[in-house]
Chains A and B, each alone.
Chain A
Amino acid sequence: MVDAVCGGVVIEILKEPKELARVRGSIFAFADAIGHVAEMGGSGFDGFVILMESPQLSTHVVDELALSMNRTLRPEISDRLRLWICQKGVVEGRGLDDGSLSDREAEIAEAVLERVGERRMSRGPVGGDATFEIQKLAVLQWMQDGGAMTPGWITHHSGYSYPTVSKALKSLEESGRDVLTRHSGRKGVELSRFPLGAWAWILSRANESRETIRFVSEGDPRPPKALLDRLRRANFSHVAVGGVDGARRLLPSLDLFGQPRLDLTVHARGMRSRDEQREEVAEIVSRLDPALMPVQSAGQAASLVVHFLYRKTAFFEEESGLQWADSAECLLDLHELGMESQAEQFLKSHPMATR
């Protein structure tokens, strides 16, 4: 993915790459693009650069990759492709270059790093997916047999405006026949039954709307119980346990042996920016296991999964020195784990589901 075009140079920035395959993939993507431009007869750009910011690969490995790149690729491609490394603010070339950049290249590197840094800082405040959050809140209220919700109650606990709440409820109402009961006067609305259609939509949006991040240990993974013990010691008030642990707390007879991973829900409503959100997660993860890193490729089994909750009131419950996520979050986590029969068992354990 191109991060910047500057001074006729196309640049992709790889932040702290750890796997050679990731760098190699970028090289071949660029090589393909250069070859394509050449075949079209276009002059294209002056050069293509893969800039590795604080790589977690040894310089020896990167140099070997650069040499291999120069041996493997056609000269008209390899001559225009460069690998740069930025360590502690100093940028240098690797491979056949002598290491130092020309003045023009150094200016380009500085400008691009500055621009990307500003872009990372300027991402907007955290808001969340309003319809997703409001409908999930309605499901939670139904699962807990909480009764009717007035518009004021929903706007207060969701943190979204009245028009936004109205729109979300209308969408919920249209998801299935007689799914929403509107009481007369100021009594508000409530779900008449479990909203299968809306829940299917919620499930389809869950990964994106909860901005789920999966972590895998670089070394031998710490058992989920060890992570849980550390979470208890860390005493975060805005981090709750969900997933299998959260479901088991509410339903000890949940038909499941073992503990596949730890699911956490982070209350992100008060966070001012994506950067703050990321820093918060980094802090949580480092307290649980500093060896945990975001999953880079499909197929890696996560040992820790973090989801964000954006409504105003978290509805976390405190017990045994931990905060616990609500039933709706736990149900989503079970679905996300692919535990459909356990999800069904968990849902049916709520009194409203059997009426």
Chain B
Amino acid sequence: MTDQCEDWISPKGVISEVAAAVPSECLGNIVIVGSLAAGYRFFSGDAEQYLIQTKDVDCVIRPRIAALSAGKEVTEHLFEGGWTYHPTEEFPEPGKAGDEKLPVVRLKPPTGGGWFLELLTVPEDEDDFGRRYLTVETGHGHFSLCSFGGIALTEFDPLPTPEGIAIARPEMMALSNMLHHPEIGEQRMSGLFAGRSIKRSNKDLGRVLALAYLDERRDADALMDWGTAWKAGLRECFPETCEEKAHRAGDGIRALLESPDDLEEAVHTCQYGLLASMSPSFEALQAAGARLVADAIEPLESTS
């Protein structure tokens, strides 16, 4: 197993690099999600003080109707700009016509660094909640764009940046993860996380705690706005199933908070991931979880 914690990166620096490399006409089609988006939102004013540890820079191509054309254009433009394919054990090189399974677009910047850019997209409709792949044929190989249900929320009202590329709202990334994990699953991440084998759900739900911790630290009442934003996002992205989703949105987080072993794993991923610069205690993240339930999840459940 390889360890998935990589180099320290500056969120603002990496977003600037990505924005400069992507063709300008496609900037509006991209929303940055994941730890880079969170790092930019919360740490960009302290670029020198706060760095984050991540290896993947996830970019969602939207809207779905433009995913094929924009995905193709971005991929080709980056290859032509000196970006290189990031091989994996399963896919040592780009795919080709006729391949049954295709690699996702994972490209390393010409400037080096321990990170790579990965392209994703949003699902076709709200019933399309599982993991799906869309084939993109480029002059540099065939790839797939991955989509899954909750990621649709990340394109809801994204935050613009001066660099010209939008980032997903922290509360929407949190809700996306929460919907993806209504319980603590047994599946473990393929690699080690800072030396430890971690359940996938603990890592993703741990991210929810980290986002809540950061936003609450910024503003003591911030989480009270999350429930309202979640409600609007669910109505927009899942008009048919928004109520059902609202009622079960908190199940995974509650399960995590009630399981000290799983919570400890989640805290480990925060301390060595997004929150590595500040390394909050177990108790601090437990507190963030309790506040998230009271301020955001319970109001969402009671008004839906």
Chain B: minimal CB distance from A235 (Å) = 16
Q: Which of A61, A219, A291 has the most CB of B within 10 A?
A: A219
Asked if A204 lies at the interface with its beta carbon under 8 angstroms from chain B, I say no
Residue of B nearest to A62 (CB): B260
In Å, the complex CA distance between A287 and B284 comes to 18
**Complex partner residue of A291 from B263, B280, B286, CB under 8 angstroms:** B286
User: Which residues of chain B have C-beta atoms less than 8 A from A60's C-beta?
Assistant: 261, 264
Given the contacts A59-B260, A290-B291, A226 and B284 also touching, CB distance less than 8 Å: no
Asked if A220 lies at the interface with its beta carbon under 8 angstroms from chain B, I say yes
User: Which residues of chain B have C-beta atoms less than 8 A from A18's C-beta?
Assistant: 283
User: Which residues of chain B have C-beta atoms less than 8 A from A214's C-beta?
Assistant: none
Chain A: minimal CB distance from B277 (Å) = 15
Residue of B nearest to A58 (CB): B260
Given the contacts A226-B220, A226-B221, A219 and B261 also touching, CB distance less than 8 Å: no
Asked if B21 lies at the interface with its beta carbon under 8 angstroms from chain A, I say no
Given the contacts A226-B220, A290-B291, A220 and B284 also touching, CB distance less than 8 Å: yes
Q: Beta-carbon contacts of B252-289 to A below 8 Å, as 1s and 0s?
A: 00000000110110000000000000001101111110
Q: A interface, by DSSP: helix, strand, loop or mixed?
A: loop
In Å, the complex CA distance between A291 and B285 comes to 10
Residue pair A291, B221 in contact (C-beta under 8 Å): no
Residues of A in contact with B, size category: 20 to 34
In Å, the complex CA distance between A172 and B213 comes to 52
Q: Beta-carbon contacts of A61-75 to B below 8 Å, as 1s and 0s?
A: 100000000000000
Residue of B nearest to A19 (CB): B283
Residue of A nearest to B286 (CB): A218
Chain A: minimal CB distance from B227 (Å) = 14
Interface residues in B, total, Cβ within 8 A: 21
Chain B: minimal CB distance from A76 (Å) = 32
In Å, the complex CA distance between A60 and B284 comes to 20
Chain B: minimal CB distance from A94 (Å) = 13
Residue pair B260, A291 in contact (C-beta under 8 Å): no
Residue of A nearest to B284 (CB): A219
Chain B: minimal CB distance from A252 (Å) = 24
Chain A: minimal CB distance from B217 (Å) = 6
Chain B: minimal CB distance from A15 (Å) = 15
Residue pair A217, B220 in contact (C-beta under 8 Å): no
Chain A: minimal CB distance from B304 (Å) = 20
Residue pair B260, A57 in contact (C-beta under 8 Å): yes
In Å, the complex CA distance between A18 and B282 comes to 11
In Å, the complex CA distance between A122 and B294 comes to 30
Residue pair B260, A217 in contact (C-beta under 8 Å): no
Given the contacts A218-B284, A219-B285, A222-B220, A290 and B261 also touching, CB distance less than 8 Å: no
17 CB < 8 A contacts A-B: A55-B260, A58-B263, A218-B287, A218-B290, A219-B213, A219-B283, A219-B284, A219-B285, A220-B216, A220-B217, A223-B220, A226-B220, A229-B221, A287-B294, A291-B287, A291-B290, A291-B291
> Which residue numbers of A lie inside 8 Å of B, CB to CB?
18, 55-61, 217-220, 222-223, 226, 229, 286-287, 289-291
Chain A to chain B: the 3 pairs with minimum beta-carbon distance, closest first: A219-B287, A291-B287, A219-B284
